[in-house]
Amino acid sequence: MHETIFAPVTAYGTSAISVFRFSGNRSKNILKELIKSNKIPLARKLVLKKVFNPATNELLDVCLICWMPKPNSFTGEDCFEVQCHGGIATMQAFTEAFSRIKGLRFAEAGEFSKRAIINGKIDLVQAEAINEIILAETEKQRKLNLQQLNKGLSIPINLWRNNIINTLSKIEAAIDFSDEDGVPEKIDIRTEIKKISKDITKVVEKGNKYELITTGTKIALTGPPNSGKSSLFNSIIKKQKSIVTKIPGTTRDVVEKKINLRGSLVILLDTAGIRETKNLVEKEGIKKAKKAIKEADIVLKIADISKINNKIETRFFKNKNWVVLNKIDKLKKEKSLKYQKNENIFFVSAKTGKGIKGLLKKIHQHILNETKEEERGDYFFTNERQKRDLKKALANLQRAVEEKDEEIVAEYLRAASGNLERILGKIDIEDVLGDIFSSFCIGK
According to the model, what pLDDT value does residue 286 have?
72
CATH number, domain 220-351: 3.40.50.300
Q: What is the 3-state secondary structure (H, E, C) of the chain?
A: CCCEEEEECCCCCCCCEEEEEEECCCHHHHHHHHHCCCCCCCECCEEEEEEECCCCCCEEEEEEEEEECCCCCCCCCCEEEEEEECCHHHHHHHHHHHHCCCCEEECCCCHHHHHHHHCCCCCHHHHHHHHHHHHCCCHHHHHHHHHHHCCCCHHHHHHHHHHHHHHHHHHHHHHHCCCCCCCCCCCCCHHHHHHHHHHHHHHHHHHHHHHHHHCCEEEEEECCCCCCHHHHHHHHHCCCCCCCCCCCCCCCCCEEEEEEECCEEEEEEECCCCCCCCCHHHHHHHHHHHHHHHHCCEEEEEEEHHHCCCCCCHHHHCCCEEEEEECHHHCCCCCCCCCCCCCCEEECCCCCCCCHHHHHHHHHHHHHHHCHHHHHCCCCCCCHHHHHHHHHHHHHHHHHHHCCCHHHHHHHHHHHHHHHHHHHCCCCHHHHHHHHHCCCCCCC
According to the model, what pLDDT value does residue 318 have?
55
According to the model, what pLDDT value does residue 139 have?
86
According to the model, what pLDDT value does residue 208 have?
77
According to the model, what pLDDT value does residue 52 have?
97
CATH topology of domain 4-118: Gyrase A; domain 2 (3.30.1360)
Which pTM does this prediction carry? 0.76
Query: Would the CATH topology of 4-118 be identical to that of 220-351?
Result: no
Nearest residue to 116 (alpha-carbon basis) of 87, 74, 86: 74
CB atoms within 10 A of CB 80: 24
According to the model, what pLDDT value does residue 436 have?
66
pLDDT in 10s for each residue of the chain, 444 residues: 579 999 999 988 889 999 999 999 999 999 999 999 999 999 999 999 999 999 999 999 999 999 999 999 999 999 999 999 999 999 999 999 999 999 999 999 999 999 999 999 999 999 999 999 998 888 888 988 898 898 889 999 999 999 998 888 888 777 765 555 555 545 567 888 999 999 999 898 888 777 778 888 999 998 888 888 888 998 998 866 554 445 444 445 678 899 999 888 999 998 876 655 556 666 676 778 788 888 899 999 998 888 776 555 544 445 688 999 998 888 765 344 555 556 778 999 988 999 999 999 999 998 888 877 554 557 888 888 999 999 999 999 999 999 888 889 999 999 999 999 999 988 665 555 666 677 677 777
According to the model, what pLDDT value does residue 369 have?
85
According to the model, what pLDDT value does residue 247 have?
46
Burial class (CB in 10 A: 0-12, 13-18, 19+), 428: exposed
Where in the chain are the domains? 4-118, 154-212+377-424, 220-351
Classify domain 154-212+377-424 at the CATH superfamily level.
Answer: tRNA modification GTPase MnmE domain 2 (1.20.120.430)
According to the model, what pLDDT value does residue 230 have?
86
